[in-house]
Structure 1
Amino acid sequence: MTARTGHRGPRRRSPARAAAITLGAAVPVAVAVAIWVTGRHHSPQYTTSLFGAQGAAAVTLKARLGSALFGLALVQLLLALWMYERLPGLRAAPRRVRTSHRAVGWAAFLLSVPIAYHCVRTYGVETTSTRVFLHSVAGCALYGAFVAKVLVVHSRRLPGWLLPAAGSALFGAIGLLWYSAALWALNGFAAPGL
């Protein structure tokens, strides 16, 4: 401690914390890159069905499921803002809000899996247009961000600011996926700016 300020000198990171931070960054990036590489080297199978729907019917079904996913992501965001007392006029969130946040998060993850599986199996990762490229990047980023959020939630060694950062990345990826595919499909295959 310094005599004048009463504060300790600069904080030094322990080797365990540095390793946790490195691992916390490397694993989500590795997940996103693995999905990208798998999708780039996969031969598209355009006749793959999604719950029995194929072709245009599968695209419409994915757009509806993607819209439901985006709705769940909005609920997640509101619950997180309530938990961290960022919603004006609301007191501290009761414990059931945390439980609801976790349940909605897992529901969103489970809803995303068949959509992503169909995308990767049917199309792979494509870069043929700006819209498709953004969609492919966001799809890979979604699972990287999900892994990051799970790691941060379960680690006591990672900095606290990583949780809202991972949650924001996850929400951003879902929003970009919805915009570049679900909105596009439900809006007559057009999205502003794409």
Structure 2
Amino acid sequence: MTGHAGARMRRPARTVAGFLAALLPVAVAVGIYAFGRTHTPDSTSGLFGQHGVGVKDLKARLGSALMGLAVVQLLLGLWMYRRLPGAGAAPHRVHPTHRLIGLLAFLLSLPIAYHCITAYGVEFTSSRVAVHSITGCVLYGAFVAKVLVVHSRRLPGWALPAAGGALVTAIALLWYTAALWHFVGSASGF
């Protein structure tokens, strides 16, 4: 095959691979949404031995820890890409630390998400609950997008901060609509 013919054959394969990579995060979010809407929730289920108000308090605390890890991730990401004012260049150890904290945040999110989806599913009983439910589905799609972007060398420079920003934003919105709401209490009008 000559150079031009080989390039033409590779281009459609790259286009299909790029399309599938863009579709995967959407498929993850839609799959979680579909499961959350079709399975029968069990609001009596527990988490780590906690039930009722105890499980809500535990999830609010775990969600707050997750939010803290997301803030650390954001700061480390800004530092790695020299966007953290006054910090200078990040030492080499910041990169593996960023990956490790990202893994810990992902693992911490799993029991929270598992309980939410199995105990409540995807609900639209109020604006807060609807935003929380949809954002919970989007969170794992955003995580898949971030992993794909990190491993891609062909995407534009804005793709990584956009994917990371979407992930931090989803975590912040989930924290705001659940953990903060729990700590402040629904009686305050929040």
Q: Structure 2 length normalisation: TM-score?
A: 0.90
- Aligned residues: percent identity? 65
Corresponding residue pairs, total: 182
Kindly indicate whether residue 119 of structure 2 is the aligned counterpart of residue 129 of structure 1: no
In 2, the alpha carbon distance for the partners of 1:17 and 1:167 equals: 24
Amino acid of the structure 2 residue aligned with 1:127 = F
Structure showing the higher helix proportion among its residues: 2
Change (3 A) 1:16 1:157: farther
User: Which of 15, 21, 24 matches 1:27?
Assistant: 24
Residue 183 of structure 2 is matched in structure 1 by: 186
Misfit runs of 4+, over 4 Å: none
Q: Deviations over 1:44-100 (max 9, x none)?
A: 101111000011110010000000000000000000000010011122111110111
Aligned-CA RMSD value: 1.8
Does the alignment pair 1:86 with 2:87?
A: no
Secondary structure of the equivalent of 1:106?
A: helix
- Distance in 1 between residues matched to 2:137 and 2:156, nearest whole Å: 24
The one-letter amino acid of 1:122's match is A
CA distance in 2, matches of 1:107, 1:131: 27
- Unaligned segments of structure 1, at least 5 residues: 1-12
Change (3 A) 1:181 1:190: farther
* Alpha-carbon separation, structure 1, partners of 2:79 and 2:188: 31
Greater Cα shift, 110-119 or 88-97: 88-97
Report if the CA contact (8 A) 1:85-1:92 is conserved: yes
The structure 2 residue matched to 1:102, chosen from 99, 103, 107, is 99
Q: Normalising by structure 1, report the TM-score.
A: 0.89
The amino acid of 1:35's aligned partner reads: I
Query: Offset at 1:162?
Result: 1.3
1:81–1:41: structure 2 CA closer, same or farther, 3 Å change rule?
same
Q: CA–CA distance in 1 between the matches of 2:48 and 2:144?
A: 26
Q: What is the identity, as a one-letter code, of the residue corresponding to 2:171?
A: I
Q: Counterpart of 2:54 in 1: which secondary structure?
A: helix
Pick aligned residue for 1:49 from 34, 46, 49? 46
Match of 2:117 in 1: 120
Secondary structure, aligned partner of 1:109: helix
